[in-house]
Structure formats: structure tokens, C-alpha cells
Structure 1
């Protein structure tokens, strides 16, 4: 009979865990199971590629497990951010608020399709996409986002506001091109 834990872990993480002591193995398993879907999802949103997301997820856990025997969610987030930066998948620019008026916001109130929203999120600048995914996707508060990304809470709030405005504009423009 095979171990169900071994079936869910990527091979590199499994090798690392098997070399660990049994008590650390339980901590690794708990951290992996608690965070694997979130890490993969976030990596996917930042790269828009399933294969890259799997690779980044694997490297994220290897990094987090090698740095600490009992990594917290925040340590795993920081390891993920380092992997995204090191792989040149994201470039974090300072959060700048460009509050231009959103034209015809009422047009967005129609039934927006999920695919329109997904396309709009992928088109966001990296910093805004990260803030949006962390806050609206994973439920992080602005304090945790600020600590993870190394920005202020106000910048996190501004980035989220800007991301939401851009998403509305992008959904509206995508809908207009689909109609035309």
C-alpha cells in the first residue's frame, strides 16, 4: 500500500521530505497540504502557465522547507515571491495610483463572463495583479500584503483600488471588442 502523502507531493519535495526526520516530515506535510492550492493558484495567475506554476510551486516549497523546519504561511508567501522574482516572472514596480475616470462603468454592470474577468486579471501590471489576487482571491488583509511585498498598507490599498478600476476598464473594453 502506498502512502497517500507521497502521491500528492512532487518528486523533488518528496526526496527532500524523506531525508528529513519523521517529526519534521509531519510539519512539512501539514504546511504543504495547507498551502499547495493557494501557492499553485497564485503562481498560475502570475505566469498564466500551468507548467510554470507547477515548477514555481515545487521550488517555493523546497525553498521554504530548506529555510525553516516549521515554515509559516507568511514564510511560504515570501518564498513564492522570491521564486517569482528570481525566475523573472514578475517585476514589482512601485504602486502608482493613476486615478483616471472610468468611462461608462455602467456598461460593465452587464453579465460579465468569467473568461472576461480572467483575461482582465492577467492583463494587470504585476504589482496590481499580486495585490488583487492576494486580497480578493486569497483574503489577505492589507497588513499581510504590505509585509509580504515590502510596501506600506496605504500602497496596498491604493494598488487594490487601482487594480479594481483597471479590471472594470479591461472587462468593458474586452466586452466592446467581443460585440464588435
Structure 2
């Protein structure tokens, strides 16, 4: 990951859980402490972004957006949930916002992506065994639900709230994702 450029902000430290020395210092505006927080969590955020977006370059940009948002919002982090949980929520929201804006720029409706078909070209033997590649090849809606449910552990109700779909729609997308993955990995 490249160097992170952070905007300036006022110093309003949030309440922190024990052991959150770097978080508390970062919330007070300490850029070095925030750099340590960034280094500790960037790989995990990037992995989530690449799984949800299916594109490493877009995931790198989204990861940067996540940490800029975290820098701006950290003073408001109350510590009601674990920092990792809060960070995960910020990352999911950033990815979903990016996808919505990309869909409107392209003149598409995001829900139309759920109707996409899996790629029909045959894959090389090495690619068939590549789970990350298979996940990236899923249609956007199916990929998002798969990552949120099977990788990140969200319930269908939570996914429905985040994506603005019903729990039944989430279950249908998950079933579709699993069927497409099974087909892609057994070819």
C-alpha cells in the first residue's frame, strides 16, 4: 500500500477502549499513531475491498478512501463496538457508496448487476483453483452477499439492511454465488 495523505481536522479525542493508545493518539491528531493504525489494519481492509469489488486497483483506491474516512471520523468513534468492527462497517459503506456512484456514472442501476451472467470463456487450469479469482468473477450482487455472509459473517438481515434488499433477496444471491463458485471451481 502506498503512503496515505490525510486531511487536517480539529482535535476532539474519542473515548477509547483499554489498549487503544494508538487510536486515542490518532484521534487527537497524531499522524504517526494513525500511520501505525493504518499499517495494522490496511491489509485486512484491502482484502475486504478486493473481494467486494473484484478489482485490485479499485480496491486500493477504496482502501485509501476508507482510511481517509476513518481519519475524519475517528474523533467520533465512541468505542461502543470494537474498532475492527467499526472499521469493517466503514469499509463496507465506502465500497457500497463507490459502487452506487459508479453505477449511476455508467448509466446503470446497481441492481441490474445481479442479473449478469458468469463469464462464459473457459478458464485455464490454474485459474480454476483460484478461489479469489472465482469470487472476483461473480456478478457484483452475488459477490457482495457472498463476501458479507460467508467471508465476513454477517446475517442475511444485516446484509439486507446494508444493501437495501430483503433477507430473502440476500439468501437468493448467496445461493446463486455458491452455485456459480461451485461451477467455476469444478470446471
Deviations 1:102-154, CA, capped at 9 Å, x for gaps: xxxxxxxxxx9641x33321221100000001111111121221111111111
**Residue in 2 aligned with 1:80?**
95
**Residue in 2 aligned with 1:120?**
134
Whole-angstrom CA distance in 2 between matches of 1:53 and 1:21: 29
Alignment counterpart, residue 154 of structure 2, candidates 119, 140, 149: 140
Alignment counterpart, residue 177 of structure 2, candidates 163, 172, 180: 163
**Residue in 2 aligned with 1:21?**
11
TM-score (structure 2 length as normaliser): 0.60
5+ long unaligned stretches in structure 1? 1-7, 98-111, 176-180
Alignment counterpart, residue 64 of structure 2, candidates 46, 49, 58: 58
SS in 1 for 2:154: coil
Shift of 1:166: 1.1
Shift of 1:91: 6.2
Q: How many residues align?
A: 148
Quote the RMSD (CA, aligned, Å): 3.7
TM-score (structure 1 length as normaliser): 0.62
SS in 1 for 2:168: helix
Mean Cα deviation higher: 125-134 or 68-77? 68-77
5+ long unaligned stretches in structure 2? 15-22, 28-33, 79-85, 116-126
